[in-house]
Amino acid sequence: MEFSIRFDLFSRLLMTPLGMGKGFSRVRIAGDTVHVCMGWGFRAKFPRAAVSAVARAPKVWITRGAHGWRGRWLVNGAGDGLVELTLQPTQRARVLGFPVRLGHLIVSLDDPDGLMEALAVQ
Q: Where do the structural domains in the chain lie, given as residue ranges?
A: 2-118
pLDDT at 62: 84
pTM above 0.85, yes or no: yes
pLDDT at 61: 87
The runs of H, that is alpha helices, within the chain are 9-15, 112-118
Cα separation, 89 vs 47, in Å, equals 10
pLDDT at 122: 55
The C-alpha R_g of the chain, in whole angstroms, comes to: 13
Residues of the chain with pLDDT under 50: none
Backbone angles phi, psi at 90, to 5 degrees: -55, 140
Q: Exposure pattern of 54-63 as b/e (b: 16+ CB <10 Å)?
A: beebeeeeee
